[in-house]
Amino acid sequence: MGHSRVYRMLKAGDLRLHKNSIKPKLSHEHKLRRLNFILSQIILPTINTLSKFCLMYNVVHIDEKWFNMSRETQRFYLFTWEEEEPYRHFPFTETKLQIRRSSNRPIGTPKLKAITRVTRDVIREKLIAEVLPAIRSKWPTNGVRDIWIQQDNARPHILTTNHAFNEVATQDGFNIRLVCQPASSPDMNILDLSLFNSL
């Protein structure tokens, strides 16, 4: 239907304008969980101080949506004096051996491939092998050793009671624990608020 015909039908009263906004699908239970999550971030008052919200300096936010924002092939323009080329890699990768012979590589050649199906086992191994060592190496020596890793409630994420993770997370004097943000609450994650709004 052409624009002019729609305009004529609107003017004649055959069509009516309706605006529809997406509303959050939050149940009463969801709202209570959100409220409890926010209240858990409050530092209780002492004799000399008032109650205040936690500054979250010991909270590490993780969210796999970052990885979907990058294209597999991307074009860059470099100055002639720039020798180092931009290096990008897939965070979830595995090394597989070449199954068939091709003109580019013989059978058995190691090849780095992106993991297309991220499961709980993959997430757990990534946390244990890369995230925890990165936190320990970058954490200030005089910083608090109680650290929270906040994740959303996506199905691939491991449970907060995961034994293998908790065993490694409490080594070297650290007490690193997992916490899940409430369901349907992207506004509770700094990555969702900052990164995607800026894009």
Please check whether residue 107 lies inside any domain of the structure: yes
Please check whether residue 154 lies inside any domain of the structure: yes
C-alpha 101/C-alpha 166 separation (Å) is 43
In tens, the pLDDT along 30-89 reads 899 999 999 999 999 999 999 999 888 999 988 765 555 567 678 888 888 888 887 776
Range of the domain at 127: 27-67+89-198
In tens, the pLDDT along 89-146 reads 666 778 888 888 888 888 888 888 877 788 899 899 989 999 999 999 999 988 889 9
Amino acid letter, 155: R
Please check whether residue 3 lies inside any domain of the structure: no
DSSP 87-114: ----SSEEEEE--S--SS--TT-EEEEE
Please check whether residue 62 lies inside any domain of the structure: yes
Please check whether residue 182 lies inside any domain of the structure: yes
Please check whether residue 6 lies inside any domain of the structure: no
Q: pTM for the whole thing?
A: 0.66
pLDDT for the residue numbered 156: 85
Task: Please check whether residue 153 is in contact with residue 180, taking contact to mean a CB–CB distance below 8 angstroms.
Answer: yes
Task: Please check whether residue 148 is in contact with residue 128, taking contact to mean a CB–CB distance below 8 angstroms.
Answer: no
Query: Does the pLDDT of residue 11 top 70, yes or no?
Result: yes
In tens, the pLDDT along 145-166 reads 999 999 988 888 899 999 999 9
> Which domain CATH number covers 99?
3.30.420
Pairing of strands 52-53, 42-43: antiparallel
Please check whether residue 75 lies inside any domain of the structure: no
Please check whether residue 46 lies inside any domain of the structure: yes
C-alpha 81/C-alpha 111 separation (Å) is 31
Number of structural domains found in the chain: 1
pLDDT for the residue numbered 94: 80
pLDDT for the residue numbered 131: 92
